[in-house]
Amino acid sequence: MPALVLVHGAWHGAWCWSRVQATLAFSGVDVTAPTLTGLGDRAAELDPSVGLRTHVDDVVAVLDAADEPVVLAGHSYAGLVVREAADRRPHAVARLVLIDAWVGRDGDSLLGLAPDWMRDAITTAAADRGDGWRVPPPDPSLVGVDDPVDAEFLRLRLTDHPLAGFVEPTRLTGAVDRVPAIAVTAEPSALPFRRWAAEAGWPTTLVGAGHDLMLTAPEAVADVLLDALGAVPS
Residue 230: the pLDDT is 84
pLDDT digits (tens, 9 = 90+) for 114-138: 999 999 999 999 999 999 999 999 9
The yes-or-no verdict on residue 109 having pLDDT over 70 is yes
Average pLDDT, integer, range 158-164? 98
Residue 142: the pLDDT is 87
The yes-or-no verdict on residue 233 having pLDDT over 90 is no
Angle at alpha carbon of residue 205, lines to 181 and 83, rounded to 5°: 30
Burial status of residue 9 (CB atoms within 10 A of its CB: 0-12, 13-18, 19 or more): buried
Residue 188: the pLDDT is 83
Residue 190: the pLDDT is 85
Domains of the chain as residue ranges with CATH: 4-230 (3.40.50.1820)
Rounded-to-integer distance, Cα 229 and Cα 223, Å: 10
75: phi then psi, degrees, rounded to nearest 5: -105, 130
The yes-or-no verdict on residue 234 having pLDDT over 70 is no
Beta bridge pairs of residue 7: 74
**Mean pLDDT over the full length of the chain:** 95
Average pLDDT, integer, range 137-145? 91
Residue 25: the pLDDT is 86
pLDDT band with cut points at 50, 70 and 90 for residue 63: very high
Q: What is the CA radius of gyration of the chain?
A: 16
Share of the chain above pLDDT 70, in %: 98
pLDDT digits (tens, 9 = 90+) for 85-97: 999 999 999 999 9
Catalytic site residues? 76
More confident residue, 187 or 77: 77
